[in-house]
Amino acid sequence: MSVIRAPRHVPYDLRQLIVPVGVAAFFIFYFFRLWFLQVAEADSLREQGARSRETRVEQLAPRGEILDRKGQLLAGVRPNLVLMAVPSKLEKDDALRQRVADVTGLTLKELDAKLKRITSPPDLPTVLLRNIDIKAATRIAEAEHLYEGLSVKTLPMRYYPDTKTFAHVLGWVWVPTDSIEKRLKEKGFTPASFVGRDGIEATYEEVLMGKAGSERVRLDAKRRPVASLPSDHPQPGKDLILGIDGDLQAHATKLLAGRRGAIVALDPKTGDVLAMVSAPTFDVTDYIGSYNTLRDDPSKPLFFRAIQGTYQPGSTFKILTTLAALKKGVFDANRPAYCNGGYQMGSRRFRCLGVHGSVTFNRAMQKSCNAYFADLAVRAGYEAMCDAAEELHFGTRLGLDFDREGRGVVPNPEWWGKVSNRPFSRGDLVNMGCGQGELLVTPLQMASLIATVANDGKQMRPRFVRAIRDANGKVTPVEPEVIGEIAASPEFWSIMKNSLEAVVSGGTARGGRIQGITMAGKTGSAENAHGPLTHSWFVAYAPADNPQIAIAVMAENAGHGGTVAVPMASSVIRKYLEKDPPKPAGQAEQSGQSNSNAPKIEVSDPLPIVN
């Protein structure tokens, strides 16, 4: 007998849904992902794909030129032959590397070192060697099948018509260091392949560098270049027009040949640096390959003595001692002091070079009487001496548009407390009044001091750059800047200037007289611990009735200022003024031009700018 059973009910299990739900979810996600990529992000991905198939190769921007005040080229740009190479091809082919080494004159070790320094993509052409020999370039170009991956190009590279005369001032251009790259990036600039490494080239890097262009290159699937695309052209840097007179700079350089020292010439009315020479100098073309030799040279050719060297100024500082006495209210040109061959202070005697008897200010300055100025310094006092020095920017920087300006030392109470265990004495005050002791100054500071006297107490900020010219030829002047002023009556300045004229006409600088040009100045002979001879100093300006040049000359361990420094200064002044005879005061042109090629610069300052 059969039995009929009711259908068995199987309970519902959610685990049975996991697989089909997961599969369905996957296809749904896959569908929406495809839609997102192919529809929503289509344009963006297409652009990214295009970018991934191309790259950019930097094109060097021509640096701006540097010109002197007459338009003479001091630093220019010219096409240089460079050897381009694909690093990956050289690294894989020993025979190719050997051929490249042979044709360029490099050793394999030197060539490998250059390859290791390359940071650009290994399959893209990059600069391997600069300034290659024309014979080597020709051999490579004529035998391309032997030099696969190599080519010769011309790039705009910096060059200097004179590689020695302006070495300290201009500096040089080379690959950037890490610190330079960091500084430029912090300022929002992209560092170029070559940057200013010192001098004006470094100070004005952002102006001179221009903006690099880029060459777009299409790549294949293996990122090998296959075609060139439209590119961005480089934008050249701006030109700098300096206040320097190139001929005067060369003349001053010859005068210092064989010596250690400095010459600084300024336009007292504008602060333009007309010449700035440091000796010995060096050749910028030797810097890269011979740096260690230059660094270890005992004559220190890399040391920019004109602005970094600090020295006792000797009797040239008696000008400032006079200004300190004026500031204190104790200056009286008619008050006599007695000189019996020296100045006695307690048991210590300060020697004078002569026995001048009873002298007043004019004769004391003319004969450089130590006894008179020792007495004047004591009457002015320590505080007035320090204040006057600091007011004229001794012990600090003048603000020259240059990175390495020295400060010098004014032994004020703060300085004295840090370096000495004894208090400042009256003997120290006498030393300071005669430009000796702990006082240290730079040649630039002394040139600025005499320029301030020439300018009736108005001190101008010294400057190298007087104008900037853009790629369209528009010239933007750099306005002269007054950084200080000594308040004094016209009568005082007349007395001071007459005394400095007397130094040249019949005093310690009489050997520097120039026929037809009245010069005013002060000699100095500074004792020092570096040799038996004194440092030779002379500061001066001319013409006396319409000053157009102020100068400081310092020759290390050369002897008396009147014997060595005075003839040099006289020669520089004659060179500068005789090419364009000075006009009488009040008749100078507002903007004279001695060279038709010189950029025309109009400055709002009402004083004449002499070229």
> What pLDDT does residue 601 have?
52
Counting residues of the chain whose pLDDT is more than 90, the rounded percentage is: 53
Task: Indicate the average pLDDT of the chain.
Answer: 85
Scanning the structure block, which residue is given the tokens 């705009």? 156
The lowest-confidence range among 127-136, 353-362, 419-428 is 127-136
All residues at 6 or more sequence positions from 79 whose CB lies less than 8 Å from its CB, including other chains: 154, 155, 156, 157
409, 457 Cβ separation under 8 angstroms: no
Residues β-bridged to residue 240: 66, 468
Confidence of residue 116 (pLDDT cuts 50, 70, 90): confident
Burial class (CB in 10 A: 0-12, 13-18, 19+), 352: buried
Tell me the CATH number of domain 246-578, given options 3.90.400.10, 1.20.5.50, 1.20.1260.10, 3.40.710.10. Answer: 3.40.710.10
All residues at 6 or more sequence positions from 462 whose CB lies less than 8 Å from its CB, including other chains: 266, 271, 272, 273, 398, 399, 400, 444, 447, 448
CA dist., res. 411 & res. 383, Å (int): 11
Q: How far apart are the first and last CA of the chain?
A: 137
All residues at 6 or more sequence positions from 201 whose CB lies less than 8 Å from its CB, including other chains: 66, 75, 158, 170, 171, 172, 173, 195, 208
CATH code: domain 61-242 is 3.90.1310.10
CA dist., res. 289 & res. 294, Å (int): 10
> What pLDDT does residue 603 have?
37
DSSP letters spanning 158-200:
EE-SSTTTTHHHH--EEPPPHHHHHHHHHTT-PPPSSEE-SHH
Q: Are strands 535-542 and 520-526 parallel, antiparallel or unpaired?
A: antiparallel
Q: What token pair was written down for 289?
A: 């390959």
> What pLDDT does residue 587 have?
46
Q: Please indicate whether the domains covering 61-242 and 246-578 agree at the CATH topology level.
A: no
Closest CA to 429 of 364, 346, 310, 355: 346
Q: Return the SS3 of 587.
A: coil
What confidence tens digit (pLDDT) does each residue in 311-344 have? 999 999 999 999 999 999 999 999 999 999 989 8
Closest CA to 416 of 374, 379, 448, 385: 385
264, 279 Cβ separation under 8 angstroms: no
Q: Is the peptide bond before 280 cis (omega within 30 degrees of 0)?
A: yes
What confidence tens digit (pLDDT) does each residue in 184-238 have? 888 888 888 788 889 999 999 999 988 876 666 665 555 555 556 556 677 889 9
CA dist., res. 408 & res. 394, Å (int): 7
113, 101 Cβ separation under 8 angstroms: no
**What pTM was computed for the model?**
0.80
> What pLDDT does residue 5 have?
58
Burial class (CB in 10 A: 0-12, 13-18, 19+), 593: middle
Instruction: Select the highest-mean-pLDDT range: 89-103, 464-478, 524-538, 581-595.
Output: 464-478
Q: What is each CA distance from 344 to 126, 320, 352, 399, in whole angstroms?
A: 74, 22, 11, 40
Q: What is each CA distance from 208 to 76, 146, 287, 430, 482, in whole angstroms?
A: 11, 39, 21, 48, 26
Residues β-bridged to residue 154: 81
Closest CA to 445 of 573, 550, 569: 550
**Angle, nearest 10°, between helix axes 443-454 and 318-328?**
60
Instruction: Select the highest-mean-pLDDT range: 100-109, 133-142, 485-494.
Output: 485-494
Residue type, 21: V
Q: What token pair was written down for 118?
A: 């390359």
- B/e letters for 77-93, b = 16+ CB within 10 Å, e = fewer, are beeebbbbbbbebbeee
Scanning the structure block, which residue is given the tokens 């009402």? 606
What confidence tens digit (pLDDT) does each residue in 499-542 have? 999 999 999 999 999 999 999 999 999 988 777 889 999 999 99
Q: What token pair was written down for 101?
A: 């080494």
Residue type, 346: G
Q: Is the model more confident about 40 or about 303?
A: 303
DSSP letters spanning 36-99:
IIIIITHHHHHHHHHHHTEEEEEEPPPPPPEE-TTS-EEEEEEEEEEEEE-HHHHHH-HHHHHH
Q: How many Cβ atoms are within 10 Å of 542's Cβ, its own excluded?
A: 29
Q: Is the model more confident about 219 or about 352?
A: 352
What confidence tens digit (pLDDT) does each residue in 295-317 have? 889 999 999 999 999 999 999 99
Once rounded to an integer, what is the mean pLDDT over residues 435-462? Answer: 97
DSSP letters spanning 413-430:
HHHHHHH-SS---HHHHH
Q: What is each CA distance from 345 to 348, 351, 361, 545, 586, in whole angstroms?
A: 5, 11, 21, 40, 48
CA dist., res. 451 & res. 495, Å (int): 16
Scanning the structure block, which residue is given the tokens 């042109």? 589
Once rounded to an integer, what is the mean pLDDT over residues 122-126? Answer: 76
Q: What token pair was written down for 112?
A: 């490998």
Q: What token pair was written down for 381?
A: 């006092």
Any idea where the domains of the chain sit in the sequence?
Answer: 61-242, 246-578
Confidence of residue 79 (pLDDT cuts 50, 70, 90): confident
Q: What token pair was written down for 21?
A: 């739900």
All residues at 6 or more sequence positions from 232 whose CB lies less than 8 Å from its CB, including other chains: 59, 213, 214
CA dist., res. 534 & res. 434, Å (int): 14
